[in-house]
Structure formats: structure tokens, C-alpha cells
Chains A and B, each alone.
Chain A
């Protein structure tokens, strides 16, 4: 038993992936660098967008400079010579601003969408490569979240203009500088209210966010309750629990309302406070500006301070408020984007792959010999499921594997196709260790027909050639005809070109099995592992399946995880598994006579079939 301590072979760098891992959403340079890797191919869009952003901001500032000029030179003194030029300039600037802004938003989102599509594709491909043992211990829901909602969070970063945070900073700095240059004293007075504004928005925003979090969790609780009670309403009524259900829902509903009211309160406060502080600033500028002009201040009169400048201050300070109030909002979006990025990249750092052979070995000619040599295996950290299985299947031999549920039958198939690697011992195909075959080659040599038939959307023919574009249409159809599939598809107007509906709903389960037989036959692997389906099919299809099975395994090595008595009887040899051990082997009659485990299984599972057949 000490041999089982050998760890499964994985590529180096494998870390334990914990989907619940909480992260702070910090702006780690490493994360940004990797994200940049995806944005990089589209950097031209990003650079152009940022350049346009600067143009937009400059145009916005320029507009007001020109406006001040118009006011001081033309409007205030009522001198309108050259006014048309000023107006033309204003028009030109506003058109430039409009066009630049439009293009800027578009380019940035285009870059973001493209980069995220690439990321999504890479992530999916990465998930495809991860070994099956990874999926045994990671909930699928979490992984789906990585590909969807986490990437959405990154998208939010692009589309909600968080990247323009850079532009906002430029704008804020530019405004501060311009206002200080125009009139330092008035500028400093104008800025007085800013700290209050920042404090209020950050404070209120935090409360809004909390209220929303509460709301989200209460909403999902409410929806879960609703779903359950709509689905189980017959039960509620049958047991006369209407009032209890209404009371329970009433309290959940009230909690939901209270959370919503909380959010409304803080949001109302936030928007009112912003408006108010902006108007306070206007009042402050008017009052202090007037005093400056009239010379009522410490530093003396400021006759050069024009009314136009005053006007400009009021306008600009209003413009100043928007990016400042947005700042905390954008920071939140940015934080959740970073959290999402960290989760995504941590998943991409999981290198739990079934390893490809490191050096190329000359592959033996395919004869179809399979050897299990003292194979031991356990799923993850669980109990061992195979305790040293050894057997040899000669080329062309038909072997039936029987055993109760949990005896380890399907594990044999998973090991042979290297969905998992053996813990110890070895599996050899035509004399060469399975681990020395490139995985694609191994899975070409070992064909598998599963109980669970997987049909993609597309035509029947597409499904026959699935994953094997090298098979010609004619070959695929010939293989299908040999199995009698032509008798089934002839009921469709388009025959083999009939589209398969979602999950193959337009075929019965027996017909789906027949398609998967034909798929395997078209590939013509030297070794075939077949997990016989247990589902009921009608008698006609059953006969068709039986004869198709014989045709399919003719001339190749076949390991059949058998459920049908006829299959077992026809086998050259039967391997009986029990609790992960090979307990008996031989032919049907021999084993029956022996009266061991096979006899037990036969009495329990196959007897009825035998009785029915002979009666």
C-alpha cells in the first residue's frame, strides 16, 4: 500500500486553487502588467482615445476662455466688432469637442471589448486544458463566474469611463493651475468648499454602497423564497400553510423595502448635498469676487479682475464638481475590477494539467494490446478506488467488465484515456506506457463511447465528424450506414444533413447512442472502450443497437463496461470488479459455475433479463 503515496504528475507551479479566496482589490503592478498584456494589441486605440480625451478637455477649457473674452471684450462693453470671429471660434471648438468625445468613448470601448474577448477566449481554453481532478473539487458555478461576471467587472472599468479617470485628473490639475494663475486669491477661496464636498461624497457613497449590498443579498433571499414557494405552491396549499407562507414572505418583503428605503435616503442626500455645495461655491465666488473687485480685501483692490473672469470662475467651478464627485464612484468600480482581475489571473495560474511527455518517443505500431500493471488510484485525497489492478487484453479481444456501482469500472476507462493519471503501476498500450503518448494520439488510439451522448448543434453529419475534420463526409456516412443509422435518418427530409436540435432532443436516447457508435466507427480506433447505456429503448432500436455494437467492435480490441446480458455472454472474457479489485475472470458459463461474485451479480442484476429471454 505504500506505493500509493506517489503524487499525481502535474506540471510544476501548481498551486491549490481556492475559489473562495478573498482579495483586497489592490492595484498590484503585476495584475496591471498582465491586464496590459491583453490591452497591448489594441494599444493604438487606447493611445488615440487618451489623446482625444486631452483634446476634449482642452476644448472644454478653451471654450470658457473664449467665453470670458467674449464677455469682457464684447458683451460687457457692448462692443461687437469682431464678435462674429469669436462666435465662429466658439462654434469650431464645440464641434471639435463633440467629435473628439464621441470618438474617444468609442475607441476606448472597442479596445476594451476586444481585449476582454481575447481574455475570455484564453480563459476558456485554459479551463479546457485543466485536468479532470481539478474539476472534481472546484464548483462549476464559481468557474462560470470567472468567465462571465468577473470579466464583466473588467468591462465596467472600460465602459463606465474609469480609464478616463486619467483624463479627469488632467482636467482637475489644469483647472487648479488656470484658476490660480487667473487669480490666486479668488481661486483659493473657491476651493474652500472642496474638502467638504469630498468628505460628504465619500461618506455618503460608502453608505449607498452598503445599502446596495444589503439590498442585493436581501433580493436574492427574496427571489429564492419566491422561487421555492411558486414551485411548491401545491404543497403549501395541500398542507394549508398559506398564512404561514404569507407571513414569512411579508417579513422578507418588508426587509427588502427597508433596504431600498435606506438606499433611497442616502442617494437623495448625496445628490442634494452635491447640488447644494456647488451653489455655495457660486455664492462664495460672487460675494468674494465682488469684494475683490471693489477692493475690500486685505491684499488691495484688483481692478484687473474682470466680470468675465468672475463668470469664468463660476462656470469652471461647476465643471470641477463633476469629476470630483465621480472620483469615489470610479474608485469603487476600479477596486472591483482589480478584485475580478486577481481572481481571473489566479485561476489562470493553476497549471494542473495532465502532462504531455517531455521527450518524443518512437510510437509503436497500433495493434490494440492493453495492459494494466498493478494500477492503483484514488480521486484527490479520497479513498483509493483501485487497489492494484492487473490484466492484459490481447489485440482483437472482446472483454466485458462487470461489477456493482462503485466497483471502479468507469475509473478504468478514465485512466486508460488519461483523464486521470495512475497513482502507481502503469497502463501500457502496445507495449508503451500511456504517459509516453502525446495525449491527442492516445485518445485517437483509444476510442470511447460513453453512456452520456454528447451532441452539438449542427447536422447529424457534423456530429459524426466531430473533432475529426480528417474524416471525409463519405467515410462518415459509410460508417453510419454500416450501423443502420440510415434507417433512422431517412425519416428526416435532409437525411444526414438534418440539424440536431439542442442536446439532441429530436433523437431518442437509443438513436443518440447509435450516432455515438457511428462516430466511433468513423474514427476507427484500434482500441475501443464502451460504456454500455442502461436506459430503456424500444425493442426495435434495441435490436438495431445490438447488431450495431457487434459491427462496431468487430476487428478491434474492445473493453465494454457491460450492462446487457447478451453483451456479457458474447464477450471473450469477463473481468469482475469488486471494491476496486479484480476478483474473477473468465467466460460466462465458467464464472456462473464457480458461484462467486459474478454469480451474485448475475442473480441480482441479470437474472431477470435471462428469465425474460428464455420464457
Chain B
């Protein structure tokens, strides 16, 4: 599968074959039922026409028909109509349950596989691809694919069969009348397709526009204090009204097409019926066709005209589905850059010595660069060499964009690196199992993530069966215990997106508690206490000291004062180590570091909330 070129077209649908194959019996059974359903449905007009002809013959002046026999025949016909309806309904239900039901099962399997793949993709993948892009594949694209797994093909097959069988049944009644009556169909199919396209594209545009309206309302309401204070009601209303009007305009465009489509289908039925009626007149006179057969023909035409309106939508959804499928398989086939391999080793114990040798990291162009040429690779880290002896602390400072985050990702074994550049305890990391190695390292990021689970579950994330006492101890060390009183259920309070919203500082301390509980050999504090006030931060750092004892600790910070106590400090500038040494030595040197320190000390109280967004590659 590696490096295989994939083309858009029928390609993505072929990729679904393994999934289809898994359920081939259900699909087969469903298709058989479908054929049966259509045959039975087409049987009804024929029976009806035949019954009318029987009755007509009996009523004719010079009838020689036996009334008893006719009665019997009509009763049989009526019985057959009812019977085929009953069996038809049964088969129809079965065909739908099999085909549509299976399509739900296939999409379920596809979702399962996609998620499993996501759990295997390296962190660097998620750095390159934002959450929204992945979500849109897992949710929207998955919805669009649903059609390809059954409904669309069922609909197309149903329509095709209906036409094939229907037209041949009609032709068996009268070829000429049939040929004339179906004449307008191609034109109407073509028109319906065009209108369906307009409607679908328009609806999508309208949906986006509604999203804009919604965003605007949310923005205005959350900014209501500002708007009122500055007296901006009128311009704010104008902006809202412009969005709302745009939404109406797009909606009306859809309406215009919709208003044409459904009447057109009714008209198709009427028009083809009219054609049938007019061309059948001479045929009736010549006796080539009976009045009962004309009734059958008209009923057939009604049946055939019915699905035309929907056909256009179905064709569009095949196209949309194929595009969606391509996007989903882009993820499913994404390279797993940091997989565990059989030859990978796991060390019996980690001391915590870290070393970088001439490490250069290029930033790859974004995953889904929208057209245009790919931007040239940038040196995010440029020839970095440094050594952190086990049990010491390293401070990393630098401006946003200097490469701090990338360096953290490298040290945390989240980013791919060439062999011979990164070493843990003297071992090349590319020879060690990445999942194992990551579990030896705890990273406490600046903007930590909490799952929608209880606070204690979030803290105990890395440690199975952590005792409540140990969790409480970790919470205390991280200075989170003081906040527990404010939370409705203390440590058992559900936090995260669907729970209580913790402040930035609280989340940072929760993530710190998580790392404390995990007690790894290597601890990385990535601007961890930026949202915590200085007094509390000092307090926490003091509490952390016994823990940091004997562990390798890397402290990344915006502010120099945070790293002043580290055993060694490096200043990053544009991906290079500009200066290195101890805090005192660097200050004494009077270079960039000293300059930065001075300018920071002059600034007013540091406010993290207004800081530039985190450096995350697109």
C-alpha cells in the first residue's frame, strides 16, 4: 500500500470493495428482493388493464363471453393485485433492510477503521492537520459516503430496472406507443439533473451563509457590552442585516430551482400520457391495442415518471461521495511516521540523559495546501547540538517562532527525526519504540487538554489503578487543591468541553498534577505556568523541587526569570541556539539574552492572555 498512487474517479469506490465483500450476502439478498419488488410492482398495471379488457369484452353488445368466467377472472385479477402488493411490500421491506441496513453497517466499519487509524498516527500528523480538518472527514465526509455504500446504488439499480423491465413490458403491449411516450424522458432527466445541481450547490452556499449569520449573532451578543458602551448598535445591526439578507438571497435562489423541479415532474407524467393517448388512437381503431392496454400503458408511464426528479440528486451524491471517500482514504492511508516496529528496543531503565547532535528540522508544507505551489521548506531547527546530563535541568527561552515548540516536540518523541540526531541515554531514539519512549516522558503544555471526564480521571490518565491518596498528593503538589472547594463535586467534578470550564491556570495545574502522578524520568514543562500568577508559580516550583530531584527537567519559557535557576539555559533564535550557558554567565556576557532579560523586566506585569497564539504549524 505504501506510496501507491491513487487517482480520483472510480478509484475511491473500488477501495470500498473490501467492505462490500464483507457483507456480500446481504447485498446479494437485498438485490434479489429488489428485482422481485420491481417485477411485482410492474405487474399491477398489467393486471389492471387485463381486468378492464375482460370486463369490456363482456359488456360489448355482441359479447360471447361467459359472465361467470369473466367474474371469476376479474376476482382472480383483483386477488393477484392484492397478492402481489402483499408479497411486494414484504420483498421491498427486506430489500431495504438489507441494502440500507448494510450501508449503515459499512459506514460503521469505516468509522471504526478511521478512528483506529487516528490512534496510530504520530503526533506530528495532528500538528500538521488541524482538528477541524480531521473532524470534517470523520463527520461530513462520512455522511456523504453513506450514499455510496448502498442507497445510491439501490436507487440507481431500482430506476434502471424499473425502466428496463417497465419499458419492455410496455413494448410487449405496443412498441410504437411506448416509443413515442418515452420520448420526452431524456430531456426531462437532463433538466432535472441540472436543477438538482443548482439546488444542491445553492443549499450548501445557504448553509454556509446561515453559519455566518449565526457567528455574527454570537459575536454581537458576546460583545454587547462593548457595542452598547461605544454606541455601535446601528453599524452592528447593518452588518447583521447584510448577512441575513445574503442568506435570504441564497435561499431564494434554491427556491427558484425547487419551484421548477417538482412541477416539471408532474408535467412529465401528463405530457407522456398525452402522447400515449394521441398516438394510440389509430392503433385502437386498427385493433392493434385494446383500451385496457392503454390503461396499462398510462399507469406504467406514471410509475416511470415518479423517480426522475430524484435521479439528479442521486447522480450528484455519487460525485460528492467519491470526493468524500478520497478525503477519508487520505487519512486512512496516511503514513504512520512513528510506528512501533519489531526491531525497536525498549530499555530496561531510563536514566534521562538527552542529547541532540546536529539536528535540523524542516517544516513540511501544510497537508492540504489549497492549490498553488507548495511553500519552500523552512528550517525550523537549524543544526542544534546540546547535551542534557541525566537529572539536570535545561531552560529554553526564545521568542514565538524561534523553534521552542518544535524542540519540545522532538524531545517528547512526537516529531520524526533523522537517525543519528537525537539520543536518550546514548541510544539513538530511532532505534527505540516510540510509544514506549513517550511513556517515559511527561509533557505539560502551555494550553493543556482535559477530557470530558472527572478531574481525578483526568489527573490519573497515565496511571492505571492510581490510589485516591496518590491522586490527592499530586493535586496538592500542583497547587490545585486550593481550587477544589470552588468545584461542585471537588475532584469528581466533570471537566472539559462538556463539563465545568476550568480557567487556563487551573488546567495548567491539572496537567501538572497529571505529570506529577506519572513521575516520569523526563519532565518537560512547556511554558506550563504562564497562566498562573507569579506567587503561585513560585509556590508550585518549590513543591515540585523534590520531584524534579534526580529527573531530567526541561523548562521552556517566554520569560527569562522562569529559567534563571536551571543548570543550563539556551536561547533560541530562528531555529538556532544563539547563546548558551548558565543564567549568570549569560547575563554577564551582556549579549542578546541579557538584553531580552532587561527589556522583560522593564515591562509591566506579564499577561499571558494577550500572548501571541501558540506556535503550531498549520
Chain A residues in the interface with B (C-beta under 8 A): 63, 70-71, 74-76, 78, 80, 83, 87, 90-91, 94-95, 97-99, 101-103, 105-106, 109-110, 113-114, 116-117, 120-121, 124-125, 127-128, 132, 135, 140-141, 143-144, 147-148, 152, 155, 159, 223-224, 226-242, 245-246, 249-250, 253-254, 256-257, 260-261, 264-265, 267-269, 271-273, 275-276, 278-280, 282-284, 286-287, 290-291, 293-294, 296, 307, 310-311, 314, 318, 413-414, 417, 419, 440, 443-444, 448, 450, 452, 454, 456-457, 466-468, 509, 519, 534-536, 539, 563-565, 605, 608-609, 611-613, 615
Q: Is the CB of B210 within 8 A of A283?
A: no
Q: Is the CB of A238 within 8 A of B462?
A: yes
Tell me the complex Cα distance, A268–B91, Å: 11
Q: List 27 A-B contacts (CB under 8 A).
A: A75-B281, A75-B291, A97-B263, A98-B264, A101-B263, A105-B262, A128-B236, A132-B225, A140-B222, A144-B217, A148-B214, A229-B115, A233-B119, A234-B123, A235-B461, A238-B438, A238-B441, A275-B89, A282-B81, A293-B59, A294-B55, A310-B52, A413-B229, A414-B225, A467-B234, A535-B609, A605-B605
Beyond known contacts A246-B116, A519-B230, A608-B601: 6 more, CB 8 A cutoff: A117-B244, A132-B224, A282-B81, A310-B52, A419-B228, A468-B231
Q: Contacts of B244 on A, CB cut-off 8 Å? A: 117, 120-121, 124
Q: Contacts of B439 on A, CB cut-off 8 Å? A: 238-240
Q: Mark B69-98, 1 if CB is under 8 A from A, else 0.
A: 011001101110110111011101100110
Q: Contacts of B121 on A, CB cut-off 8 Å? A: 233
Q: Contacts of A468 on B, CB cut-off 8 Å? A: 231
Q: Contacts of A103 on B, CB cut-off 8 Å? A: 259
Contacts A310-B52, A419-B228, A563-B604 given: A135-B239 contact, CB under 8 Å?
no
- B36 on the A face (CB < 8 A): no
Q: Contacts of B71 on A, CB cut-off 8 Å? A: 290-291, 294, 296
Q: Mark B233-269, 1 if CB is under 8 A from A, else 0.
A: 1111101110011001001100110111011101100
Tell me the complex Cα distance, A537–B84, Å: 81
Contact of B230 (CB < 8 Å), options: A83, A144, A256, A466: A466
- B341 on the A face (CB < 8 A): no
Q: Is the CB of A419 within 8 A of B229?
A: yes
Q: Is the CB of B230 within 8 A of A454?
A: yes
Contact of A534 (CB < 8 Å), options: B111, B451, B610: B610
Tell me the complex Cα distance, A224–B605, Å: 37
Q: Contacts of A124 on B, CB cut-off 8 Å? A: 217, 220, 237, 240-241, 244
Q: Contacts of B607 on A, CB cut-off 8 Å? A: 534-536
Q: Contacts of B291 on A, CB cut-off 8 Å? A: 71, 75-76, 78, 307
Q: Is the CB of A613 within 8 A of B606?
A: no
Tell me the complex Cα distance, A521–B470, Å: 59
Q: Mark B203-237, 1 if CB is under 8 A from A, else 0.
A: 00000001001100110111111111111111111
Contacts A124-B237, A143-B221, A144-B218 given: A80-B115 contact, CB under 8 Å?
no
- B165 on the A face (CB < 8 A): no
Contact of A109 (CB < 8 Å), options: B138, B252, B285, B603: B252
Contact of B104 (CB < 8 Å), options: A228, A257, A291, A307: A257
Q: Is the CB of A242 within 8 A of B248?
A: no
Q: Is the CB of A539 within 8 A of B599?
A: yes
Tell me the complex Cα distance, A271–B155, Å: 14
- Beta-carbon contacts under 8 Å, B17-76 to A: 41, 44, 48, 51-52, 55-56, 58-59, 67, 70-71, 74-75
Q: Contacts of A109 on B, CB cut-off 8 Å? A: 251-252, 255, 258-259
Q: Contacts of A95 on B, CB cut-off 8 Å? A: 267
Contacts A113-B251, A294-B71 given: A242-B120 contact, CB under 8 Å?
yes
The distance from the CB of B330 to the nearest CB of chain A, in whole angstroms, is 15
Q: Is the CB of B77 within 8 A of A144?
A: no
Chain B contact patch, size range: 35 or more
Q: Is the CB of B274 within 8 A of A87?
A: yes
Q: Contacts of B231 on A, CB cut-off 8 Å? A: 440, 443-444, 467-468
Tell me the complex Cα distance, A245–B135, Å: 16
Q: Is the CB of B221 within 8 A of A231?
A: no
Q: Contacts of A250 on B, CB cut-off 8 Å? A: 112
List 7 A-B pairs, minimum CB-CB distance, nearest first: A279-B85, A535-B610, A287-B78, A276-B89, A268-B96, A612-B602, A94-B270
Q: Mark B289-307, 1 if CB is under 8 A from A, else 0.
A: 0010011000000100000
- B326 on the A face (CB < 8 A): no
Tell me the complex Cα distance, A332–B497, Å: 32
Q: What is the chain B residue whose CB lies nearest that of A147?
A: B217
Contacts A76-B291, A109-B259, A237-B119 given: A284-B78 contact, CB under 8 Å?
yes
Q: Is the CB of A233 within 8 A of B221?
A: no
Chain B residues in the interface with A (C-beta under 8 A): 41, 44, 48, 51-52, 55-56, 58-59, 67, 70-71, 74-75, 77-79, 81-82, 84-86, 88-90, 92-93, 96-97, 100-101, 104-105, 107-108, 111-112, 115-116, 118-121, 123, 126, 131, 134-135, 138-139, 210, 213-214, 217-218, 220-237, 239-241, 244-245, 248, 251-252, 255-256, 258-260, 262-264, 266-267, 270-271, 274, 277-278, 280-281, 284-285, 291, 294-295, 302, 412, 414, 435, 438-439, 441-443, 449, 451-452, 461-462, 496-498, 518, 599, 601-607, 609-611
Tell me the complex Cα distance, A143–B214, Å: 10
The distance from the CB of B105 to the nearest CB of chain A, in whole angstroms, is 6
Q: Is the CB of B224 within 8 A of A135?
A: yes
Q: Is the CB of A454 within 8 A of B452?
A: no
Q: Is the CB of A280 within 8 A of B85?
A: yes
Tell me the complex Cα distance, A144–B294, Å: 58
Tell me the complex Cα distance, A534–B78, Å: 86
Contacts A98-B266, A235-B449, A238-B462 given: A75-B294 contact, CB under 8 Å?
yes
Q: Contacts of A74 on B, CB cut-off 8 Å? A: 281
Tell me the complex Cα distance, A489–B610, Å: 22
Q: Is the CB of A466 within 8 A of B285?
A: no
Q: Is the CB of A239 within 8 A of B462?
A: yes
Q: Is the CB of B134 within 8 A of A97?
A: no
Q: What is the chain B residue whose CB lies nearest that of A109?
A: B255
Q: Is the CB of B235 within 8 A of A233?
A: no
The distance from the CB of B267 to the nearest CB of chain A, in whole angstroms, is 4
Tell me the complex Cα distance, A386–B284, Å: 97
Q: Is the CB of A125 within 8 A of B237?
A: yes
Contact of B443 (CB < 8 Å), options: A63, A238, A272: A238
The distance from the CB of A71 to the nearest CB of chain B, in whole angstroms, is 7
Tell me the complex Cα distance, A572–B534, Å: 31
Q: Contacts of A253 on B, CB cut-off 8 Å? A: 108, 111-112, 115
Q: What is the chain A residue whose CB lies nearest that of B86?
A: A276
Q: Is the CB of B278 within 8 A of A159?
A: no
Q: Contacts of B222 on A, CB cut-off 8 Å? A: 140
Contacts A74-B281, A467-B231, A535-B610 given: A105-B221 contact, CB under 8 Å?
no
Contacts A239-B462, A261-B104, A275-B89 given: A290-B74 contact, CB under 8 Å?
yes
Q: Is the CB of A268 within 8 A of B255?
A: no
Q: What is the chain B residue whose CB lies nearest that of A79?
A: B285
Q: What is the chain B residue whose CB lies nearest that of A225?
A: B452
Q: Is the CB of B135 within 8 A of A290?
A: no
